[in-house]
Amino acid sequence: MSTTTDSDLVLHAVDARGVHRLTLNQPKAFNVLSEAVLTELQRQIARIADDAQARVLVIGAVGKAFCAGHDLKQMKANPRLDYYQDLFGQCSRMMLSLLKLPVPVIARVQGVAAAAGCQLVAQCDLAVAVDSTRFGVNGIDVGLFCGTPSVPLVRNMQPKQAMEMLLTGGFISAPEARARGLVNRVVPEDQLDAAVEDMVSAILAKPREAIAIGKQLFYQQRELGIEGAYQLANQTMACNMMYDVAQEGVQAFIEKREPAWRKSTTP
């Protein structure tokens, strides 16, 4: 059973398992991230963050493109520094809200993910792509270095690989994106939903509390030196071991049985 609340721009659905889905819904416009779309994404992400039953967020799109980036026509119509500062700030806040969300975010990608659309894929925790998908940060083709997309991009792949994409505007294939660390899995189009569901099911089989604290640690420790990272990881694991789910999980391992919480996740 699922419930759906649709806007014209972003479709939202959630099922009984706590799996939320946000779907970009402007196929004729290649699902560009206009001001209105960014606002709607931010609103929906905030709602999901407040849902104590949420377990996973899947971000997808309708049509031939996952997302072509910012709305260039809208940008050209407002040639003011303060406007551009507000727009890129709005986009950055939305991307950071995905990072801060206490549940894993999976990108379900098809067609083309360009510029801020590629940024969106890079900012998600996990990504599954159709084998024909193309990825690029091609703002440089119109004289605009993809500065904000570079932030998550360089945190997904090696610096020289990211810099080549940013400086040349060249696109890479889905298999190349997987080899470079931008996506986790590449599948034929007719297997996309099944591959996403496999990933969702694997996450649902684990305790929400452990995943939430683990996601927070994962991103925080990356920005620290190695000593600070170990200190934070030590404290996080110690706190995690105090959770009931961890105590039950360890006891179940000792007793050679399934933990009670794993049984409770079975549909």
The DSSP line for 48-107 is HHT-TT--EEEEEESSS-SB--B-HHHHHT---HHHHHHHHHHHHHHHHHHHH-SS-EEE
Select from 191, 185, 210 the least CA-distant residue to 124: 185
> What pLDDT is attached to residue 118?
98
Instruction: Please say if the pLDDT value at position 266 is more than 90.
Output: no
Distance of CA 82 to the CA centre of its chain: 28
pLDDT tens digits along 174-221: 999 999 999 999 999 999 999 999 999 999 999 999 999 999 999 999
Give the mean pLDDT of 128-137: 98
Helices 244-254 and 208-222, axial angle in degrees (round to 10)? 110
Q: Are 123 and 142 in contact (CB under 8 A)?
A: no
Q: What are the phi and psi torsion angles at 128 (to 5°)?
A: -125, 130
Three-class DSSP category at 263: helix
pTM tops 0.85: yes
Which stretches within the chain are classed as H helix?
35-49, 72-76, 81-100, 116-123, 147-153, 159-168, 174-180, 192-204, 208-222, 226-241, 244-254, 260-264
Confidence of residue 105 (pLDDT cuts 50, 70, 90): very high
Share of the chain above pLDDT 70, in %: 96
Please give the domain boundaries of the chain with CATH numbers for all domains: 2-204 (3.90.226.10), 208-264 (1.10.12.10)
